[in-house]
Amino acid sequence: MTKVKFLADDSGLYGFEISGHCSKDSDDETGKTVCAAVSSAAYMAANTVTEIVGDKADTDAFDAFMRFSVKNPSKCTAVILEGLKLHLTELSGQYSDNIRIIGGAKNVKD
């Protein structure tokens, strides 16, 4: 199961961690599709924050794990991260056996 943990403080969202992705060798076709959707959305959000908005971020990505954290997020970055949270929360509603959202706001599943 893919787990997405949104990182937040009193100011709002400042990043996320994704773990538990399906591998390309998995027999779970739905899981692989969900993982591809999560990865695509996460990389789009991260690239928009760093390359378009220009905020600096600490990143780490390796097999089945991605971490993205902005030390001083701008208002634009906060909006992008809220959009990512909304998108992935909706996806988890459709594929609750494949994705779990943790943290980030009171209306997000823990």
CATH of residue 63's domain is 3.30.70.1490
Contacts for 35-39: CB closer than 8 Å, 24+ residues apart: 35/2, 35/98, 37/91, 38/2, 38/4, 38/88, 38/91, 38/99, 39/66
Whole-number Å distance between alpha carbons of 39 and 35: 6
pLDDT in tens, 9-64: 988 999 999 998 766 666 778 888 898 899 999 999 999 999 999 999 999 988 88
The residue segments making up the domain with residue 56 are 2-102
Q: What per-residue confidence (pLDDT) applies to 67?
A: 97
Both tokens assigned to 17: 């961690």
Per the structure, the count of domains in the chain is: 1
Both tokens assigned to 33: 């599709």
The structure's pTM equals 0.87
Q: What per-residue confidence (pLDDT) applies to 108?
A: 37
Q: Tell me whether residue 45 is in a domain.
A: yes
Please report the sign of the dihedral spanned by the C-alpha atoms of residue 72, residue 54, residue 66, residue 99. positive
Q: Tell me whether residue 107 is in a domain.
A: no
